[in-house]
Amino acid sequence: MKKCVSCLVIALFVSCTVFAQSSEMLTKIIKSEKATCAQAAYLPALYANFINEEESLGTFSEGNASKDNAAFEAAKAKGCFSPSVTADSEITLGQICFLYAKTMNIKGGLFYSLFPSERYAFKEFKAKGILPGEADPGMKLSGRDTIDIFNTCLRLVGGNE
């Protein structure tokens, strides 16, 4: 009986730390003035099951370089980023459109279907009303902006399922 109770207490403690670290990562993303590619890749990588929550523990924590790039490396391996992009690069609006379109399977028009790229993903997001008309594909984003666009994409994908 003692073993069962001990295991339950340990399981409860471990599950609490998982959720605490997850919210800590979201807080760090939201507070960042200029979002990096690694930060922007975190939520869509979880959504697309490129990584799982346990693998991502420690992501964005100081001094933990090996886990900092788990979501970014997984997304890059799936072709969501060009080879020249690094995890610490500031993400642009064009890059995030392509990342979200690819990971969330957002269907595009003719040109995006034929030539999936940042350019046509950006144009598709503008056409779908995800982005305002005056948006620029080279614009740098804050962490809050990346999460706002992600939430809009979730509503779009959720309405199509």
* pLDDT one-digit tens code per residue, 92-124: 999 999 999 999 989 888 998 899 999 999 999
**Burial of 2 from C-beta contacts in 10 A (0-12 / 13-18 / 19+):** exposed
Contacts of 44 (CB under 8 A, 6+ apart): 50, 75, 80, 99, 100, 103, 104, 150
What is the per-residue pLDDT across 119-138, written as a single tens digit (0 to 9) for each? 999 999 999 999 988 899 99
- Closest Cα to residue 25, out of 11, 45, 50? 45
Closest-CA residue to 99 (of 72, 134, 62):
72
pLDDT of 10 > 70? The answer is no
pLDDT at 66: 42
Contact by Cβ (8 Å): 85, 76: yes
Beta bridge partners of 90: 36
- Give the least confident one: 26-30, 73-77, 82-86, 141-145: 26-30
pTM: predicted TM-score of the whole model, two decimal places: 0.77
pLDDT at 97: 95
Q: What is the mean pLDDT of the chain?
A: 80
